């Protein structure tokens, strides 16, 4: 009996729901809801966070700084294997900070990047000739060819009474490979083994002994947990690749089989 068959049987035994086929998508577009106590207020600004597949598994947090303390305004995780655009509407003016927690290839912890920005209340009494709204766009990507991180900021402009700003951030890091939980550049049964071992360790409050990038690459169904479901996706994907019945990556495979 093969090692791969045993792993499939073990993973399947730990699953609860059946699998169904579905068409795979390419882009995830999300519009977040502001804090409940601000929901009825008018929208005075918008932040669009755009990240490609290389940012998969990255955590984004938007904080509002105020006298009574720091408020976590938004929090979201970039979808695995997808280009993601997240729209964050703002109901309150003030100073904000976008924190990006990027998985690292050699560290168990993520590396945090902080970007400060402001949203002004376009009250005609205060700004009679300036603008009616603020629109900020931040684009994020990983580029393995870079030796150091690179930032490109475009000159802000006023257009149709809207203040528009745009920045692009490129991080120097190894490319993201969905399913590669042991960083050997191949997605196969060994990655499923790494996932199951890590899941068992975390189940008893021990270190999974994976880098933050390996853990993010192994988490394929976007439920925020590394477990047997992810191992089964890896094994199913490796089997499909082995018989040339699928040509995409493991995250695309999971979506095409409705395993996410």
In a structure prediction context, what are the per-residue pLDDT tens digits for the chain, which is 260 residues long? Answer: 444 433 333 333 333 333 333 334 477 889 999 999 998 999 999 999 999 999 999 999 999 998 888 899 999 999 888 899 999 999 998 999 999 999 999 989 999 999 999 887 655 555 555 677 889 999 999 999 999 999 998 888 888 888 899 999 999 999 999 999 999 999 999 999 999 999 999 999 998 899 999 999 999 998 989 999 999 999 999 999 999 999 999 999 998 998 87
pLDDT at 28: 82
Q: What is the DSSP secondary-structure string of 129-173? A: TS-SEEEEEEEEEE-TT-SS-EEEEPPPEEETTEEEEEEEEEE-S
What phi-psi label fits residue 160: left (phi over 0), alpha (psi between -120 and 50 degrees) or beta? left
Contact 46, 90 (CB under 8 A): yes
Angstrom distances, CA of residue 178 to CA of 17, 55, 81, 188, 245: 22, 11, 7, 11, 18
**186-220: pLDDT as tens digits:** 999 999 999 999 999 999 999 889 999 999 999 99
pLDDT at 158: 83
- Which two tokens mark 72? 């976590």
d(CA 4, CA 54): 28
CATH code 1.10.1330 region(s) in the chain = 3-25+177-256
**E-state strands within 197-248:** none
pLDDT at 260: 76
According to CATH, what is the number of the domain 32-171? Answer: 2.60.40
**52-62: pLDDT as tens digits:** 999 999 999 99
d(CA 163, CA 258): 41
Question: Is 1.25.40 the CATH classification of the domain at 3-25+177-256?
Answer: no
d(CA 203, CA 225): 11
The pTM for the full model equals 0.84
pLDDT at 124: 52
CATH code 2.60.40 region(s) in the chain = 32-171
Burial per residue of 229-243, b for 16 or more beta-carbon CB atoms within 10 angstroms, e otherwise: bbbbbbbbbbebbee
Q: Which helix (H) or strand (E) holds 75?
A: strand 71-77
Q: What is the DSSP secondary-structure string of 17-37? A: S-----PPPSEEEEEPPPPGG
């Amino acid at each position: 009996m093969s090692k791969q068959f045993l792993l499939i049987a073990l993973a399947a035994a730990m699953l609860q729901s059946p699998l169904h086929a579905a068409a795979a998508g390419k882009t995830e577009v999300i519009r977040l809801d502001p804090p409940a106590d601000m929901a009825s207020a008018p929208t005075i600004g918008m932040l669009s966070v755009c990240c490609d597949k290389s940012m998969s598994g990255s955590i984004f947090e938007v904080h509002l700084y105020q006298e009574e303390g720091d408020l976590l305004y938004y929090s979201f995780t970039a979808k695995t294997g997808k280009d993601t655009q997240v729209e964050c509407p703002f109901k309150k003016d003030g100073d904000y900070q976008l924190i990006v927690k990027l998985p690292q290839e050699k560290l168990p912890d993520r590396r945090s990047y902080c970007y400060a920005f402001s949203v002004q209340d376009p009250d005609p009494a205060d700004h009679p000739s300036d603008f009616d709204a603020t629109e900020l766009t931040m684009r994020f990507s990983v580029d393995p060819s870079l030796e150091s991180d690179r930032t490109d900021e475009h000159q802000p402009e006023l257009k149709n009474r809207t203040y528009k700003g745009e920045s692009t951030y490129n991080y120097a890091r190894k490319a993201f490979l969905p399913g590669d939980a042991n960083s050997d550049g191949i997605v196969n049964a060994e990655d499923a083994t790494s996932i199951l071992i890590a899941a068992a360790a975390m189940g008893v409050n021990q270190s999974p002994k994976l880098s933050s990038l390996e853990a993010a690459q192994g988490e394929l169904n976007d439920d925020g947990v590394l477990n047997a479901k992810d191992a089964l996706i890896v094994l199913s994907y490796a089997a499909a690749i082995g018989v040339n019945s699928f040509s995409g990556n493991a995250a695309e495979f999971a979506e095409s089989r409705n395993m996410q």
